[in-house]
């Protein structure tokens, strides 16, 4: 969530800075002002207003942010390049951040503050003041933002102000326990949860940044025998979110109250939801938010865009590549053209207003696909079964007794990306591209199991849900399960030798085994007993091309992005002792009775 204000302001390192003359021209094209807007409870929130010198009334584009409202200045400088010129630009600091009054509450639940006060009411009061007090506005407001501002954008649709005509939640943190920033299906996002919270809650203005003592954070996090030892070292007791992590490790009412899809299931204004297939922070949010809106969207107000992007890449980068993977076109530019038309239609009355329900990029074919519904109504379910000798097949297993095993040792966890693992938001960090790294860096480790198909004889197009169904046992009483669906490139790739045999993770995720029966009520795993585990790998629109292979990998650690499971059941892993962490043998079954598989929704052949 942290650096998205930089992205949306168009100040990405990947984007060249504007020449001084162009900056001056952009600056002189706007009149800058600030205001402290009173909310209904008397708290005043600061906004920065950039108004173009224009003869005709203009609509307002509003972004509410925890990352400093001064981001409006950088955004205005790039507004024309982004296709968003001709708007009054307003950025506002939310409660308790930078120069706004009040108390900051991370991902504040609806109606959780002073009676009747939350982010949606603050948005309403802000919009009400703007349309009444900003000169030369046309009475129409649009809201937008990526990540935390994306979530703030989404909740403006709760009891929206009449002037609010269009919103675009981009990479909104939809559910920070189930699949976004802080937990994934019960597993704590150790490095991200620690570093982001450290930056956000040590001060109100990000004046204190994370300062680990090692460059390779794999070694730094591994040096702490327990989560409690880490917390004492970084003084995590200062951070309200850390208390939430450690006191509410299960999916209880605290997390459910913060889950956007649970409290917002209806589109009230035209909504353009945007996300990235390789968003390393909030891929779950846009898909879950759109799904919740789409179920009751008889007016067809909700629209979805998913592209081949890291977190926020679409807002300032060309989008021609992500890491080693090239897309053959400027996907970011193409998206921004759509965004320009979207706001132009709803706020200025320009264009015909025809937008697909779902506009999704297929990185296997390097092409955009449009769908009337998502997932598509004609998608069929197919299963990729784990078979003997590392084989993967659409044919189910025939053996009565067959399995593969590995030893998972918390003292030697599998790194989630090639080392060194840099500080998440450092200048040298490879955080943005880690999900597209070549998975050969772990393929062959004894604690990573691998199965793959022969070269495909025809294309296989995933279009919808991807779910891993594992039947497994452990010699311990708890275990994490990581499942990855991978595209293995051919051994010969003309003109791209670095992609020969490349193992691209199309999608992957983790679940904590103690939650196999209930997200709310964890329970230990009986030793050496076969249990079903379901790992939600979310959704994709991706074609495995003829001549490629499909691979599945299974492992039990993904460190230090996720904390280590002690593999001995304890009521709360945040309170686990060093002696609770033990190496255990895990076994994955592939029999007629226990046919471990990855289920995909695919387009008909």
Q: Do 61 and 104 reside in the same domain of the chain?
A: yes
Q: Judge whether residue 112 has pLDDT over 80.
A: no
* Residue 93 CB partners (closer than 8 Å, separation 6+): 45, 46, 47, 65, 66, 68, 69, 99, 100
Give the domain-ending residue among 371, 404, 419: 371
CATH, residue 284 = 3.40.50.1820
Sequence-distant (6+) residues with CB within 8 A of 128 are 161, 163
Dihedral sign, Cα of residue 135, residue 141, residue 145, residue 148: positive
Whole-number pLDDT of residue 55: 85
Predicted confidence (pLDDT) per residue in 426-480, tens digit? 999 999 999 999 999 999 999 999 999 999 999 999 999 999 999 999 999 999 9
294/264 Cα distance (integer angstroms): 11
Domain count, the chain: 2
Q: Using one digit for the tens of pLDDT, what is the confidence trace for 467-516?
A: 999 999 999 999 999 999 999 999 999 999 999 999 999 999 999 999 99
Give, in order, the Cα–Cα distances in Å from 219 to each of 214, 385, 413, 415, 430.
Answer: 7, 36, 11, 10, 17
pLDDT of residue 115: 75
**Stretch 589-599: mean pLDDT:** 98
Partners of 321 in the β-ladder: 326
* In-domain check, residue 237: no
Residues 323 and 364 in one domain: yes
3-state secondary structure of 93: strand
Residue 308 is assigned to a structural domain of this protein: yes
- The per-type count for the chain, helices as H runs and strands as E runs, is 13, 25
pLDDT recorded at residue 1: 67
Residue 164 confidence (pLDDT) above 50: yes
Alpha helices, DSSP H only, in 63-111? 71-77
Let me know: does 39 contact 45? Beta carbons within 8 Å: yes
Asked whether residue 97 is domain-assigned, the answer is yes
pLDDT reading at 19 higher than 80:
no
231 occurs within a structural domain: no
Beta bridge partners of 137: 58
Q: What is the mean pLDDT of residues 97-112?
A: 92
pLDDT given for residue 604 in this prediction? 96
The reported pLDDT for the residue numbered 230 is: 98
Determine the average pLDDT of the residues in 218-223: 98
Q: Please check the confidence at residue 7 and state whether its pLDDT lies above 50.
A: no
Q: What is the pTM of this model?
A: 0.95
Give the structural domain span for 297: 4-175+258-371
Estimate to the nearest angstrom the gap between the alpha carbon of 241 and the chain centroid: 18
pLDDT in tens, 20-63: 444 554 577 999 999 999 999 999 999 999 999 988 999 999 99
Domain co-membership, 454 together with 541: yes
Backbone angles phi, psi at 188, to 5 degrees: -75, 130
Q: Does residue 166 lie in a domain region?
A: yes
Mean pLDDT, residues 405-423: 98
Which of 342, 371, 400 is the last residue in one of the domains? 371
306 shares a domain with 417: no
Share of the chain above pLDDT 90, in %: 93
pLDDT surpassing 70 at residue 15: no
* pLDDT value of residue 14: 35
Q: Which whole number is the average pLDDT over 385-394?
A: 98
User: How far is Cα 63 from Cα 7, in angstroms, rounded to an integer?
Assistant: 13
Q: What is the pLDDT of residue 28?
A: 79
Q: Domain for residue 225, yes or no?
A: no
Average pLDDT, the chain: 95
Final residue of a structural domain among 314, 346, 371 = 371
Q: Is the pLDDT of residue 8 over 80?
A: no
């Amino acid at each position: 969530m942290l650096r998205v204000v930089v992205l949306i302001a168009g100040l990405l390192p990947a984007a060249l800075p504007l020449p001084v003359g162009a900056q001056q021209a952009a600056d002189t094209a706007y009149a800058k002002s600030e205001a402290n807007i009173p909310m209904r409870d008397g708290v005043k929130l600061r906004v920065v207003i950039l108004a173009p010198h224009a003869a005709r009334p203009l609509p307002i584009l509003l972004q509410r942010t925890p990352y400093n409202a001064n981001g409006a200045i950088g955004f205005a400088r790039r507004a024309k390049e982004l296709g968003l010129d001709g708007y009054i630009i307003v950025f506002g600091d939310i409660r308790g951040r930078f120069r706004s009054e009040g108390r900051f509450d991370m991902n504040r639940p609806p109606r959780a503050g002073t009676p009747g006060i939350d982010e949606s009411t603050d948005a309403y009061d802000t919009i009400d003041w703007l349309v009444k007090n900003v000169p030369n506005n046309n009475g129409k407001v649009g809201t937008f933002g990526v990540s935390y501002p994306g979530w703030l954008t989404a909740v403006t649709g709760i009891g929206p102000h009449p002037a609010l005509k269009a919103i675009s939640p981009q990479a909104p943190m939809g559910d920070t326990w189930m699949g976004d920033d802080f937990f994934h299906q019960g597993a704590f996002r150790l490095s991200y949860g620690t570093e982001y919270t450290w930056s956000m809650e040590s001060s109100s203005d990000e004046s204190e940044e994370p300062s680990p003592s090692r460059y390779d954070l794999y070694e730094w996090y591994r040096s702490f025998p327990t989560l409690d030892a880490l917390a004492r070292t970084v003084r995590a007791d200062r951070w309200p979110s850390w208390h939430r992590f450690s006191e509410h490790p299960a999916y209880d009412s605290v997390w459910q109250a913060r889950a956007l899809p649970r409290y917002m299931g209806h589109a009230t204004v035209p909504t353009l939801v945007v996300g990235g297939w390789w968003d390393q922070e909030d891929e779950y949010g846009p898909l879950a938010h759109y799904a919740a809106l789409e179920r009751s969207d008889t007016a067809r107000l909700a629209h979805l865009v998913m592209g081949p992007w890291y977190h926020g890449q679409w807002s300032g980068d060309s989008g021609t590549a992500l890491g080693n993977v090239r897309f053959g076109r400027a996907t970011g530019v193409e998206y921004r053209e759509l965004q320009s038309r979207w706001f132009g239609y709803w706020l200025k009355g320009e264009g015909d207003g025809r937008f697909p329900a779902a506009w999704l990029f297929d990185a296997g074919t390097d092409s955009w696909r449009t769908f009337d519904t998502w997932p598509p109504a004609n998608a069929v379910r197919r299963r990729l079964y784990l078979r003997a000798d590392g084989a993967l097949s659409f044919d189910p297993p025939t053996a009565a007794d067959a399995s593969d095993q590995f030893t998972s040792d918390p003292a030697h966890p599998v790194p989630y990306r090639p080392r060194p693992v840099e500080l998440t938001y450092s200048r040298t960090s490879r955080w943005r591209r880690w999900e597209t790294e070549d998975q050969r860096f772990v393929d062959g480790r004894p604690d990573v199991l691998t199965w793959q198909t022969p070269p495909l004889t025809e294309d296989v197009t995933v279009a919808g849900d991807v779910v891993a169904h594992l039947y497994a046992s452990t010699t311990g009483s708890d275990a994490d399960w990581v499942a990855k669906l991978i595209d293995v490139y051919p051994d010969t790739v003309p003109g791209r030798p670095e992609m020969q045999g490349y193992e691209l993770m199309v999608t992957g995720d983790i679940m904590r085994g103690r939650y196999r029966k209930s997200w709310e009520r964890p329970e230990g795993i009986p030793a050496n007993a076969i249990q079903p585990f379901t790992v939600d790998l979310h959704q994709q629109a991706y074609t495995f091309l003829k001549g490629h292979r499909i691979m599945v990998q299974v492992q039990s650690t993904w460190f230090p992005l996720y904390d280590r499971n002690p593999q001995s059941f304890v009521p709360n892993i945040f309170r686990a002792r060093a002696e609770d962490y033990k190496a255990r043998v895990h076994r994955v079954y592939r029999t007629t009775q226990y046919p471990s598989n990855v289920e995909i929704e695919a387009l008909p052949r």
